[in-house]
Amino acid sequence: MKFRQQKIMKNTSYKIMALVLILSGSFYSCKDLTVLNQNPNGINPETANPNLVMSTVLTETGKAFVNLGYQDIAGVMQHTQKDGWSGGHNTYEWGGSQSWASYYDILRNNQYVYNRSVTLNLELHQGIALVTKSMMFGLITDLWGDAPYTAALKGAEGGATNTFPAYDTQETIYTGILADLETANNLLSKASYPSTPGTADVFYQGNASKWRKLANSLALRYYMRISAKKPDVAKAGIEKILANATQYPIITAIADDAAMPFAGNSDSDSWPSNAVYDASASNYRRIKMAATFVNKLLDLKDPRIGIWANKVQIPLVVDASLPKGTDKIEGGKRYLAPDKVVGRDVNTHPEYVGLPTGIIGGASYNLSPTAEQGANNPHVSWVNDIYRQAKGPLLKSRMMSAAEVRFILAEAALKGWAVGGTAKAHYEAGVKASLDTWGVGGTYATYITNPGVAFDGTLSQIIEQKWISSWTAAQEAWFDYRRTGFPVLTAGPAAIRKVLPVRFYYMLDERNLNKVNTEAAMNKLETTTYSEADGKNSPWSKPWVSQGTGKPW
């Protein structure tokens, strides 16, 4: 028994010693593995160069803008209409489907760029990050209204107030944006910098002067945005910028436009709805020119129509001399006897035909022989073939332009503000800048004298030309429409309301997860006749920037 106990104790001792050796080995092995498991190709966020993140921030920002301005907001502003899967585009059937999650993702990454730039004392990078922050928060408040701002981007810090941030008022956000742009103007004013982002800056390749012009041009945009609510602030801000061109340079040449090209290497870095990576081309085929836009361009004899739109493949010809029942294609045209079009909405323009806004049965419009979704309708103008491509010299995300700046100054001059130059001079410079941008600047001398284009001294004409020049950047035209009521647009017969919307719904996830703060923001919206079916959280409820203005309806 004693021998057995000794044996057991001896065996136990061996096991303990073995366990100690195993654990000791595990400790040292883990320590070694910690070193070995460091990915030599990985990036330590505490030591990384902000350039590595900046490129993603800027490309995602560019995509965010074009995905609004060429997609559903182009439908709202009647640049285009869709004849397949058209509810969101043509008739505003959004239902809370929009989300700001991707915008805040961009802002979180951008905050990292800013913080690292502060740590490394990279003032150029700080300035770029503040301008980008201003653009993205500008989009968020323009699209939704009140939103998380001062308490945003702090989720990693934990705590309920950071995880479920309070919403700032739209007024507070615009004020913060303008303050950040002022700071950015100063940061971007140096003659040289010890380090630049170079090619990581897909907008300006590290050119501080151009970023500075963008900062001040954006300030003009946001001062004008609040001009109906805070006219004294807007007037003083715009006059301050225009009074000192050295201290506050702005974009006046198209070479300085904030316009991001597309790489075209994959679907993710290509023009949206291109037909290169979509073998069926269905996304391209769904988009047709809107009749509202086409008719205006035709009325004005606008040379940009040929850059933006294709001519109809087969024009319709209604000929009273043809025998009853005639419907034939001959010489590239479709000839119809009058009895074939009785009770039908038929457009026989020989070159450009737009799809009417918000109609029922858009796929079969103008006697289309193929009425499937995303129709191959030969009797309606498709967007130009350049938009089939993944990349190209005109395929850019356009975030701020010389044309927009000139139209802002034309409006300011029309108000009697001191901006240097007349409303007419700035208006004409805006028209010319847009024509130059799209490669038809040689037509300017004739175009500017055309009826409806020659300056008549009205705000409606300035905003109309600004709307035209916002092709593929229609979100800015939408925000102008909300502020001014121009251009005068009518919702289509199938639209879910009789007027155009003025904002996005707060999304369902936000209403569920951040319920208290979202409801507080919703309660600040102004309900209207058209928002009754939705309640306060409606695209037809007015945010602060529109409340009390009587605009746009």
- The CATH number assigned to the domain holding 178 equals 1.25.40.390
Residue 27, pLDDT score: 32
Strand ranges (E), 349-418: 396-400
One domain for residues 153 and 214: yes
In this prediction, residue 248 has a pLDDT band, given cuts at 50, 70 and 90, of: very high
Does any domain span residue 160?
yes
Inside any domain, residue 434: yes
Q: Backbone dihedral region of 535: left (phi > 0), alpha (psi from -120 to 50 degrees) or beta?
A: left
Same domain, 103 and 123: yes
Give the model confidence (pLDDT) of 128-150 as tens digits.
999 999 999 999 999 999 999 99
Residue 404 in this model has a pLDDT that exceeds 80: yes
Average pLDDT estimate for 94-120: 95
Mind listing the pLDDT tens digit for each residue in 154-186? 878 888 788 899 999 999 999 999 999 999 999
Domain end point (choices 465, 484, 503): 484
Domain count, the chain: 3
Per-residue pLDDT tens over the stretch 455-478:
999 999 999 999 999 999 999 999
For residue 267, tell me if it sits in a domain: no
Q: What is the pLDDT of residue 43?
A: 66
Residues 401 and 375 in one domain: no
384 and 412 together in one domain: no
Q: Residue holding tokens 């919206």?
A: 525
Residue 495 lies inside a defined structural domain of this protein: no
| Residue 41: predicted pLDDT | 59
211 and 338 part of one domain: no
Which of residues 25 and 318 earns the better pLDDT score? 318
What's this model's pTM, rounded to 2 decimal places? 0.91
Q: Check whether residue 247 and residue 127 sit in a common domain.
A: yes
pLDDT of residue 47: 81
Structure tokens that stand for 18 in this block: 């073995």
pLDDT in tens, 255-298: 999 999 999 999 999 999 999 999 899 999 999 999 999 999 99
- Return mean pLDDT, the chain: 92
Tell me the pLDDT tens digit for each residue of 183-206. Answer: 999 999 999 999 999 999 999 999
Q: Which of 443, 297, 310, 445 lies closest to 386, judged by CA?
A: 310
Task: Examine residue 544 and state whether it is found in any structural domain, yes or no.
Answer: no
d(CA 543, CA 365): 36
445-449 average pLDDT score: 98
Residues 295 and 414 in one domain: no
Q: Based on the fold, state whether residues 196 and 90 are members of the same structural domain.
A: yes
**Pairing relationship of beta strands 316-318 and 333-336 according to DSSP bridges:** parallel
Query: Could you give the percent of the chain with pLDDT greater than 70?
Result: 92
**Binning pLDDT at 50, 70 and 90, where does residue 374 land?**
low
- Listed range (157-161, 346-350, 386-390, 513-517) with the worst mean pLDDT: 157-161
Alpha-carbon radius of gyration of the chain: 29
Cβ atoms of residues 359 and 290 within 8 Å: no
Q: Which of 161, 198, 242 is nearest to 420 (CA)?
A: 242
- pLDDT exceeds cutoff 50 at 530: yes
Please write the tens of the pLDDT for every residue from 306-319: 999 999 999 999 99
The average pLDDT across 403-429 equals 98
Is pLDDT of 9 > 60? no
Q: Is residue 279 in a domain?
A: no
- Which CA distances in Å does 396 have to 124, 264, 269, 393? 24, 11, 11, 8
End-to-end CA distance of the chain: give it in Å, rounded: 101
Range of the domain at 141: 52-262+395-484
- Which of the 8 DSSP states describes residue 323? P
d(CA 140, CA 102): 11
| CA atoms of 30 and 24, how far apart (whole Å) | 10
In degrees and rounded to multiples of 5, residue 80 shows phi and psi of -135, 165
Residue 542 in domain: no
Determine the Cα angle at 125 with ends 120 and 131, to 5°.
140
Whether 249 and 110 share a structural domain: yes
Q: Is residue 520 part of a domain?
A: no
Q: What pLDDT, on a 0 to 100 scale, did the predictor assign at position 26? A: 36
pLDDT at 5: 36
| Residue 3 to residue 10: CA distance in whole angstroms | 10
